[in-house]
């Protein structure tokens, strides 16, 4: 039996997560269900996409990664499964799998709601809670070894992915803060994965608010206590940090508002 | 082996939850222990009673639902087990099982502290932590397939249930906000289960603060973005919401303070 | 297979905890992984040391307790394993295991990073995330029944422990608040374990802010609702509480700032 990881923006104070886990265990009683986080900021797809990149690759082959950050639940956005060489990803087609789709060979399937309903004890599919009624049964079915073709078919057209903001020859790039972690580190949407596709380019300076940082540091403690630095975070995204302090507090930075400008040089 | 779900107001920052889980695994090493939430607001029995209704029915038969929101710990309130056709519920007799007791056939048992102590390695029962010393051993014993008669006897008298606030012929009902979820939805104690027992009655308007909402909507997106609506939430309680926004923020509503008036019409 | 408990200050909003659990399950697929808390205040070693004392002893023999509160990650602090009669403790050598080291016979091992890297699929060891790259593989290896000698050797010298602040003959002791739990109880670093080593001494009064409390109470409800009291908390640390209220709010107390003075009398 396989592991199902579960990431959402449901919060930890209600029964939403518990309901989803009930469905998972009901259909896949021997699976391991692993809570990743349910504290993604409500509806923040980019934050979920980043957080997913920080853990998925540490799980064994055939792990099912369930991701439910789904502001468009009840609308026309499609429910999908992304199959890569090693993993299944189950969730809404709203960009949350952008980085996976860009970095790994994959096939994308569209979930068939009628088939899921039949599989899930005939329970109707609530218009507000696809995590419980649509995604969880599919994740459990796959974890129990079921064939994806029984509940889904190949997606017509391309899945949703975030715009690529890096282009050859650029002198500077404007990045967004997509997450602030518990230590006050500011995580941007500037990823090492995308940066490495540019050839012979290096980062010279990073601007944030009135600070201008020279290049990247290898570790927090490369600067004095209380100093601001930039580095590649452990998931491969450019991060603004303060050694033993909070960059969010010191810089009064806010996700989606504070701009980070990265200056590049072609060698 | 069975699953034990665990709901409490212990919070996630201390070792309380960890101690309870240690006792559970010690006695039922093969059981699955599923955290539901430990962020019920301290001592808020009504919130726990509502949250319980949102997940318990998604678990397989014979799952043990452990619920510890227990402001009267150390007082005379009784420790109980509620047995229904499909589930065990373990916790204090303080109303937290009200909705279960009303909606399902059941037998209620009173836990025998002396027998639990003997079963639980002879450990004494702290006066401040029955979750660890009294309820957890019982939950684990049941999950390991033990007979309830070995640790409990039938309850003398009736268990505690919340007052029923719905009566035939009422023109309006005053409901309370008992929980605010992460998305700012306001959950009231007006349940579909109880409402459906009134015959030929429909809801005409819902009043909250200076708003008057006409009837219920089928889904959040039935109104424009930013608009207030009322709907049946996924656990079957009347909920005041804002499409893609926070009703709690918009209406400055507070649990236990803000009144919600539901107008009824007999057809 | 054994259980691995996991305590950290990583928070629940990111993928850090999920990455660590991926490594644990990858190496020990049949182990049970139990989240204790990831809400230790960032870098608060004393809080983690106290929380550890509240749960470790409720787990079955040979449980592996993983504790990652590690402000010195990337510096020269050593990664260690503490082996006691019943348990393994894995984490940084920064005092977090002080109370364990003082209260139980033990042997301390220093983890060999090169051997861990070879064991952990050759993955390099990030300078900012030893929880994932160094401590998790060791915890999983031990949970899978591996011999500690394969990844660690005996520690040269003594491990780091907090200063002992109790001495025979003292008339008063100044204690620190090291944690505030969800109910607003103030937990001090004055432990019953250490106090009991003083012979024929009793506590007469406890001072906090402008309050002077006479002795300890057996339970919260020993005083009137809203009254301040002192008692031994469930983990054996002296705690300042308010019956059915929040001592933190009432006394405006803060961890590390508010002083608690305990007056002793030699009999």
- Residue range C77-112, pLDDT digits in tens: 999 999 999 999 999 999 999 999 999 999 999 999
> Which chain C residue lies closest to B26 (C-alpha atoms)?
C60
Chain A contact for C263 (CB, 8 A cutoff): no
With H, G, I as helix, E, B as strand and everything else as coil, classify residue C175.
strand
The pLDDT of residue C205: 97
Instruction: Tell me the pLDDT band of C164, cut-offs 50, 70 and 90.
Output: confident
Q: Indicate the helix (H) or strand (E) that contains B136.
A: helix B136-143
User: Using CB atoms, which residue from C14, C129, C132 is nearest to A51?
Assistant: C14
Query: Number of residue pairs across A and B with CB atoms under 8 Å?
Result: 92
Tokens of A195: 């940066």
Min Cα separation A240/chain C (Å)? 14
Chain B contact for C224 (CB, 8 A cutoff): no
First to last CA, chain B: 50
The pLDDT of residue C167: 85
Chain C contact for A96 (CB, 8 A cutoff): no
DSSP secondary-structure letter at C97?
T
How many angstroms separate the most distant Cα atoms in chain B? 61
Orientation of helix A136-143 relative to helix A16-27, angle to 10°: 30
Place of tokens 């029955």: B130
Tell whether the model's pLDDT for residue C123 goes beyond 80: yes
Query: Number of residue pairs across B and C with CB atoms under 8 Å?
Result: 89
Which among C18, C31, C4 has a CA at the least distance from the CA of C132? C18
Tokens of C88: 């393994």
* pLDDT, tens only, B203-230: 999 999 999 999 999 888 889 999 999 9
Tell whether the model's pLDDT for residue B197 goes beyond 90: no
* Cα–Cα distance, C85 to B130 (Å, whole number): 28
* Cα–Cα distance, C208 to C187 (Å, whole number): 12
Q: What is the mean pLDDT of residues C51-59?
A: 97
Which residues of A are less than 8 Å from B183 in CB distance? 11, 42
User: Using CB atoms, which residue from A34, A181, A231 is nearest to C11?
Assistant: A181
With H, G, I as helix, E, B as strand and everything else as coil, classify residue B259.
strand
Chain A contact for B59 (CB, 8 A cutoff): yes
Which residues of B are less than 8 Å from A42 in CB distance? 182-183
Which residues of C are less than 8 Å from A3 in CB distance? 25
> Which chain A residue lies closest to C75 (C-alpha atoms)?
A221
Chain A contact for C127 (CB, 8 A cutoff): yes
The pLDDT of residue C166: 86
Tokens of C154: 């005996």
- Given a contact as 3+ CB pairs under 8 Å, which chains touch C? A, B
Q: Indicate the helix (H) or strand (E) that contains B37.
A: strand B32-37
> Which chain C residue lies closest to A241 (C-alpha atoms)?
C128
Which residues of B are less than 8 Å from C12 in CB distance? 12
Instruction: Give the number of C-alpha atoms closer than 13 A to the C-alpha of residue A104, restricted to the C-beta side.
Output: 18
Min Cα separation B128/chain C (Å)? 6
Which pairing describes strands B172-180 and B152-154: parallel, antiparallel, or unpaired? unpaired
* pLDDT, tens only, A203-254: 999 999 999 999 999 888 889 999 999 999 988 999 999 998 999 999 999 9
Tell whether the model's pLDDT for residue C1 goes beyond 80: no
With H, G, I as helix, E, B as strand and everything else as coil, classify residue A45.
helix
Give the lowest-confidence range in A141-145, B69-73, C6-10, C25-29.
Answer: B69-73
Which among A74, A70, A16 has a CA at the least distance from the CA of A43? A70
Q: What contacts B49, CB < 8 A, 6 or more positions away?
A: B95, B96, B97, B98, B99, B162, B178
Instruction: Give the number of C-alpha atoms closer than 13 A to the C-alpha of residue C32, restricted to the C-beta side.
Output: 22
Q: What is the mean pLDDT of residues B54-59?
A: 97
Which residues of C are less than 8 Å from B42 in CB distance? 182-183
The pLDDT of residue B85: 98
Count of Cβ atoms closer than 10 Å to residue A58 Cβ: 22
With H, G, I as helix, E, B as strand and everything else as coil, classify residue C191.
strand
DSSP string, C140-172: HHHHTT--GGGTEEEPSSPPP-PPP---TT-SE
Chain B contact for C98 (CB, 8 A cutoff): no
User: Using CB atoms, which residue from A40, A55, A218 is nearest to C22?
Assistant: A55
Which among C24, A244, C62 has a CA at the least distance from the CA of C16? C24
Place of tokens 């419980």: A132
Angle at B198 between CA B195 and CA B199, to 5 degrees: 130
> Phi first, then psi: what are they for C130, rounded to 5°?
-70, -25
* Cα–Cα distance, A72 to A78 (Å, whole number): 9
* pTM confidence score: 0.94
**Total number of residues shown for chain A:** 267
Sequence-ordered strand ranges (E) for chain A: 3-8, 32-37, 64-68, 79-84, 88-92, 106-111, 152-154, 172-180, 186-191, 201-208, 211-214, 228-232, 237-242, 259-266
First to last CA, chain C: 50
* pLDDT, tens only, B71-88: 888 778 999 999 999 999
* Cα–Cα distance, A17 to B4 (Å, whole number): 15
With H, G, I as helix, E, B as strand and everything else as coil, classify residue A103.
helix
* Cα–Cα distance, B71 to A224 (Å, whole number): 48
Which among A191, A267, A175 has a CA at the least distance from the CA of A236? A191
Contact A37 C25 (CB under 8 A): no
* Cα–Cα distance, A226 to A228 (Å, whole number): 7
Which pairing describes strands C32-37 and C3-8: parallel, antiparallel, or unpaired? parallel
Contact B37 A15 (CB under 8 A): yes
- Enumerate residue ranges in chain A where pLDDT < 70: none
Chain C contact for A40 (CB, 8 A cutoff): yes
What is the number of helices (H) and of strands (E) in chain A?
8, 14
Count of Cβ atoms closer than 10 Å to residue A174 Cβ: 12
Chain A contact for B34 (CB, 8 A cutoff): yes
> Which chain C residue lies closest to B18 (C-alpha atoms)?
C36
Give the lowest-confidence range in A83-97, B139-153, C234-248.
Answer: C234-248
Q: Indicate the helix (H) or strand (E) that contains A248.
A: helix A247-251
Q: Average per-residue pLDDT in chain B?
A: 94
Min Cα separation B150/chain A (Å)? 28
Contact indicator for B185, B259 with CB cutoff of 8 Å? no
User: Using CB atoms, which residue from C25, C128, C132 is nearest to A59?
Assistant: C25
Q: Average per-residue pLDDT in chain C?
A: 94
The pLDDT of residue C136: 98
User: Using CB atoms, which residue from C7, C53, C182 is nearest to B11?
Assistant: C182
Which residues of C are less than 8 Å from A38 in CB distance? 12
Q: What contacts B196, CB < 8 A, 6 or more positions away?
A: none
Contact A128 B219 (CB under 8 A): yes
Q: What contacts A92, CB < 8 A, 6 or more positions away?
A: A68, A69, A70, A72, A73, A77, A78, A79, A80, A130, A135
> Which chain A residue lies closest to B241 (C-alpha atoms)?
A128
Instruction: Tell me the pLDDT band of C126, cut-offs 50, 70 and 90.
Output: confident
The pLDDT of residue B45: 97
* Cα–Cα distance, A120 to A136 (Å, whole number): 9
Chain B contact for A9 (CB, 8 A cutoff): yes
Interface test with B, best of C55, C143, C185, C230 (most B CBs within 10 A): C55
Contact indicator for A68, A8 with CB cutoff of 8 Å? yes
Chain C contact for A61 (CB, 8 A cutoff): no
> Which chain B residue lies closest to A137 (C-alpha atoms)?
B58
Which pairing describes strands C88-92 and C79-84: parallel, antiparallel, or unpaired? antiparallel
Which pairing describes strands B32-37 and B3-8: parallel, antiparallel, or unpaired? parallel
**What percent of chain C has pLDDT above 90?**
84
* pLDDT, tens only, B180-191: 998 899 999 999
Chain A contact for C1 (CB, 8 A cutoff): no
Chain B contact for C61 (CB, 8 A cutoff): no
Min Cα separation C227/chain B (Å)? 16
The pLDDT of residue C34: 97
Task: Using alpha carbons, list the distances in angstroms from residue C178 to A233, B111, C53, C69, C190.
Answer: 30, 36, 13, 14, 10
Rg of the Cα atoms in chain B: 20
Sign, CA torsion B51/B57/B60/B65: positive
User: Using CB atoms, which residue from C9, C23, C75 is nearest to A58?
Assistant: C23
Query: Number of residue pairs across A and C with CB atoms under 8 Å?
Result: 92
Contact A19 B55 (CB under 8 A): yes
Contact C234 B16 (CB under 8 A): yes
Angle at C112 between CA A55 and CA A3, to 5 degrees: 25
> Phi first, then psi: what are they for C86, rounded to 5°?
-110, -20
Contact C13 A40 (CB under 8 A): yes
The pLDDT of residue C215: 94
Min Cα separation B9/chain C (Å)? 8
Q: Where are the alpha helices (DSSP H) in B30-128?
A: 45-53, 98-103, 113-119
Instruction: Tell me the pLDDT band of C65, cut-offs 50, 70 and 90.
Output: very high
> Which chain C residue lies closest to A35 (C-alpha atoms)?
C18
> Which chain B residue lies closest to C62 (C-alpha atoms)?
B26
* Cα–Cα distance, A196 to A177 (Å, whole number): 20
The pLDDT of residue B4: 98
Count of Cβ atoms closer than 10 Å to residue C245 Cβ: 17
Contact A234 C74 (CB under 8 A): no
The pLDDT of residue A198: 87
Structure-model confidence comparison of residues B135 and A198, the more confident one: B135
Which pairing describes strands B201-208 and B259-266: parallel, antiparallel, or unpaired? antiparallel
* Cα–Cα distance, B255 to B176 (Å, whole number): 7
Task: Using alpha carbons, list the distances in angstroms from residue C5 to A52, B25, C56, C76, C136.
Answer: 23, 11, 8, 26, 11
């Amino acid at each position: 039996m396989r592991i199902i990881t579960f990431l959402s923006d449901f919060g930890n104070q209600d029964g939403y997560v518990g309901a989803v886990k009930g469905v998972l265990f009901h259909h896949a009683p021997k699976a391991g269900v692993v809570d990743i986080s349910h504290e993604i900021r409500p509806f923040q797809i980019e934050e979920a996409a980043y957080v997913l990149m920080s853990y998925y690759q540490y799980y064994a082959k055939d792990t099912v990664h369930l991701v439910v950050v789904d502001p468009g639940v009840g609308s026309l956005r499609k429910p999908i499964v992304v199959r890569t060489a090693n993993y299944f990803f189950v969730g809404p087609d709203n960009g949350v799998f952008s980085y996976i789709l860009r970095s790994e060979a994959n096939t994308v399937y569209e979930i068939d709601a009628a088939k899921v309903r039949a599989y899930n004890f005939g329970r109707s599919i609530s218009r507000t809670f696809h995590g419980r009624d649509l995604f969880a049964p599919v994740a459990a079915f796959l974890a129990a070894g079921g064939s994806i073709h029984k509940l889904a078919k190949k997606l017509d057209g391309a899945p949703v992915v975030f715009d690529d903001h890096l282009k050859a020859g650029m002198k500077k790039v404007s990045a967004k803060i997509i997450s602030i972690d518990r230590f006050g580190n500011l995580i941007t949407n500037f990823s090492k994965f995308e940066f490495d596709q540019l050839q012979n380019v290096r980062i010279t300076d990073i601007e944030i608010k009135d600070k201008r940082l020279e290049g990247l540091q290898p570790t927090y403690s490369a600067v004095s206590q209380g100093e601001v630095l930039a580095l590649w975070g452990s998931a491969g995204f450019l991060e603004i940090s303060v050694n033993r302090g909070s960059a969010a507090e010191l810089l009064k930075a806010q996700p989606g508002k504070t701009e980070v400008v990265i200056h590049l040089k072609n060698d």
